[in-house]
Structure 1
């Protein structure tokens, strides 16, 4: 309420945030892993193997590794309703070491009805370089339920995907180098020169002048101790420093698929006049047996010209737009027209 009552020229200071919430340490990242596996032990909800030949092929390969050799004819005739082919995905955390457990997501790639109650067999998880970094196995946890009888079917949530908490074990770590030549580099999540300057000031005030320097609107170089132990302690202190980020650009984000409109507090309106009418087409199929054709009517609602008052803050903008009485889909077109006319003082982004 205070923000609405203050004059338009008064800018509310942004809330202080930690550096770890505003920026990431360069080089410290996760790595995506993926693998092809088989889930067994399903209650007749697995793949229809006649339509998913890769499931029977995978089963034949697995059995051959265990000393059970099937002919090609026998493999193609397998009817395994309790088996499903799946893709296993996960993210390898930074600094992960061999033996560390990580969660995995199991997703059906065939026509299995449900993975509930299934067990994932030993699966290799590979990175983009083709190397194996983890091995996954375990019982799949599915957060849904379903039942069917005849033509009736009821499903709650999604049954074709699940998770295995701690289902993978790291077999190989990824070397992660922190910094270079005595410096580490922070990268802001959003490029902003003012925020980069605020981060530099906060680090220099908490440590010593010249410790941090901004390279551009996104990267910040920070001088760190040479000893690994002192470096970790230093970075732990730096990333918890409070910084007031600069006020961002005025932006309106619209989603034409859902009719969603989201705007931040910096959006403003200039005085303008808006006229908007709805156009609808109604098609009546008619009765062909009586020789009557389809009846097509075009209706257009009258749209009167309305005066939109200037809005210097978010509350005024919302009030002005609500006064138009437009539905969300119409509002998308109105905002685009306002932007083209120069009445909308904000960046318009369509997602």
Structure 2
């Protein structure tokens, strides 16, 4: 692949605007009862009407972001409002915690068992407030963000399954999501809060979860950052580690912190060298740091979001550092992703492949896959390559 940044920018832009966004516009919006259908088969037909809060909020965020950053189109704002109004009415319990799942008409199905629903609500309503100018949406965003800060040290609260105190592992997911969430809410937060939370989350990710000897990002560590020799303590989630690193690059770039940018790129490259399937291509979903059998039976599947977040990290790393390894790896991951996940016949991308790269689930959306990773990554890669084309 030649370093034709203009052509790459056009490829990612056209895929987003002419394929992926229209797929969700045409198939997912529930204009009758509010919110979105996310359980869509290959052609976009609805096969289940339950509404999962992560995906509902992510779609509000996505269309609000497009309205704010690409073009202030009324139809995009209407789609965002359709989700925001539904969620504001049905999404929280009496204490203001966000459920995990609702029925089509908004009845609670699954309790608010961790803070990630609140994280995505804060993201969604922050960007919807910016797009719509609605003060009530700001209040929803700030209330959800307050929940996240209040619960971040005990993210599952009373729904935690583990026995208290026996194995007090903490998860990478919490600080990495909080870092990105805080950036997304920068226009709503006091500068002191913004600076403090970003500094604390980057420090925790890079000091506690990064193994300085192997250069790999662990999924779970003890509160002091030490490792525990057990399934969860040895767990690597390559996609999470790589996604966390582009969050760190983004924050470091805003601060002019070149050293941290290069450190994050080092980690991305280390993870890729460790987690790339040399026999069939693609990145493993889960791995054990010591090479033992992971307890996740789906460990060797190839997932859409893992590869898309990698494309974002590599394109961002290439733009910020011009390190040749970023470009070499980008070509490899780009070729694999576009030839295995993208569906030129029906649009959008498949989500789940087996180890050999064959489609495992013939769907475009479900309980975990919605209007988020594909459009966000296409947008961000388009932006990186547009910037690179202007530099070259």
Category of TM-score, reference length = shorter chain: under 0.3
TM norm structure 2 = 0.18
Higher relative contact order (CA 8 A, sep 6+): 2
Structure that is richer in helix per residue: 2
Structure of greater Rg: 1
TM norm structure 1 = 0.19
